[in-house]
Structure 1
Amino acid sequence: MKRKALFLDRDGVINVDYGYVHRQQDCVFVDGIFDLVRLANATGHQVVVVTNQAGIGRGYFSESQFVAFMDWMRRRFEERGARIDRVYFCPHHPVAGMGRYRQACACRKPQPGMLNDARRDLDLDMSASILVGDKRSDLDAGARAGVGRRFLLAGDRPGHAEAESDVDVVARLSDIGSALEAIGIAAARV
């Protein structure tokens, strides 16, 4: 039986996006992220991070620094009773990437490569899955991969509600949990 997933962008959804966050001391978690991940865990969703990390390609930090930071981040979730099942990242940039990282690839969102890899690796039913992003490229990648429900975390940024008619626009992560409960995808809040 195929599984469902909660796909999360990282910068701007899991942590506040201060630009190329890769050190523990620079990480501030977005309000509500631990509750949302616990809810997803409780309702049988695989929690999958899909994140563009052009800072690697630009030379701001290495792949090993990124992996170490994500390991640290995952431990913070575990300490709060939440689980991230898988992390996919794209280190490329088509213009600003250095060396092997300068390429137009299939994994950099809005391309669906990372989501398609997760579909294959985790045997996912994309139509029963959910994606949360804070940029149009996140949502477009989800649409191209066939993700059933997509949420734009807009925060206090004006103008998104009218411009994003093909997705659910929310101000806070807690709004996503409420929306999921209201339509019966989630049985109970954890």
Structure 2
Amino acid sequence: MKLIILDRDGVINEDSDAYIKSPEEWNPIPGSLEAITRLNHGGYRVVIATNQSGIGRGLLDLETLNQIHRKMHRMVQEVGGLIEAIFFCPDVDEANPFRKPNPGMLLEIGRRLKCNLQGAPVVGDSVRDIRAARAANAWPLLVRTGKGARTLEREAESCANVLVFDDLATVAEYLTTDHE
């Protein structure tokens, strides 16, 4: 089995500059749940790595985050997919080694799942995701959904040599299609 690490907000679900603070605010991007199923069927273990500073900011609590994640798990399962694990950093402190763009969360995923991250795709919509993937020796991929289009526009240099996709569905199609 291969490993793929996905950011949550802006990759799987619609993002909000005001944070996703309740299960009602968590809405999947069209095609993203089916993309997770396609990745599973293509032999990928799907894991989420997400900064959740809304907790550290007092905008939501851990129980509410768990409710949001239960909704996500249920909706993915309804289309035949599976998210193996969710790793998150609730801290607002940029120096926290587990908060992206630092690689700690990704390295912890590799350690806990006993997976080598070298070449493992990490799909995100921000420079934080790209930098964390590079620092963990993984393979950064950028989607235009969420903050992705803005990231491409404002951070072109940081996005150099990063494959860019319209959304998670096109990532899944690319990774599960033979390119020989």
Q: Secondary structure at the match of 2:83?
A: coil
Superimposed CA distance per residue, residues 102-135 of structure 1 (whole angstroms, 9 cap, x where no aligned partner): x731100001111111101111121241111000
Pick one of 149, 160, 167 that aligns with 1:165. Answer: 160
Cα distance in 1, alignment partners of residues 130 and 151 from structure 2: 16
Cα distance in 2, alignment partners of residues 43 and 171 from structure 1: 20
Who is 2:108 aligned against?
117
Tell me, yes or no, if the aligned pair for 1:4 and 1:126 is still in contact at 8 Å: no
Cα distance in 2, alignment partners of residues 32 and 91 from structure 1: 27
**Structure 1: segments with no counterpart, 5+ residues:** 95-102, 185-190
Who is 2:45 aligned against?
46
TM-score by length of 1: 0.83
Q: CA deviation at 1:166?
A: 2.2
Cα distance in 2, alignment partners of residues 7 and 27 from structure 1: 19
Q: CA deviation at 1:138?
A: 0.6
Pick one of 126, 130, 133 that aligns with 1:139. Answer: 130
Tell me, yes or no, if the aligned pair for 2:119 and 2:137 is still in contact at 8 Å: no
**Structure 2: segments with no counterpart, 5+ residues:** none
> Match for 2:152: what amino acid?
H
Q: Secondary structure at the match of 1:5?
A: strand
Q: CA deviation at 1:159?
A: 7.8
Identity %: 31
User: Which structure has the larger Rg?
Assistant: 1
Tell me, yes or no, if the aligned pair for 1:5 and 1:128 is still in contact at 8 Å: no
> Match for 2:102: what amino acid?
Q
Pick one of 2, 5, 8 that aligns with 1:10. Answer: 8
Tell me, yes or no, if the aligned pair for 2:123 and 2:140 is still in contact at 8 Å: yes
Cα distance in 2, alignment partners of residues 116 and 32 from structure 1: 28
Cα distance in 2, alignment partners of residues 72 and 158 from structure 1: 28
Cα distance in 2, alignment partners of residues 159 and 24 from structure 1: 26
Q: CA deviation at 1:173?
A: 2.3
RMSD: 2.0
Pick one of 113, 116, 120 that aligns with 1:129. Answer: 120
Q: CA deviation at 1:158?
A: 6.4
